[in-house]
Amino acid sequence: MFLETGSSLKISQTPDGLFISFDRAVVEEYTFGENRTVSVGPIEAQRVSAWNGMAFVVETLDEQGTLLTESWRLESAGAVLVREISITRGDKQQFSTRQRFDRI
């Protein structure tokens, strides 16, 4: 499963997607409306993304059936970015967290 975290983010948007840099070290690329296989070394997973209202949602499903769901949305008139993360396997949630990033 692919899960990047950090205490600071830098987000760049293009007409086709988002680039999110975590602590200036790791960059994740999310393409709007993607449906593709992503890999890190020998690990492969299917990734889809779409807008759900005002939230951008990315779902990544690995070969063992573990689903990583990330959603990104703005709150407080755009001053706060909220990232919600959950990991489920079958019907059972394995992990869930919410991160808040204040604009500086």
Which residues have CB under 8 Å from 8's CB, separation 6+?
A: 22, 23, 24, 101
Specify the pLDDT at position 35. Answer: 96
First vs last Cα of the chain: how many Å apart?
Answer: 30
Closest CA to 71 of 18, 1, 13, 16: 18
CA 98 vs. chain centroid, Å, equals 12
Residue-wise pLDDT tens digits, 39-95: 877 889 999 999 999 999 999 999 999 999 999 999 999 999 999 999 999 999 999
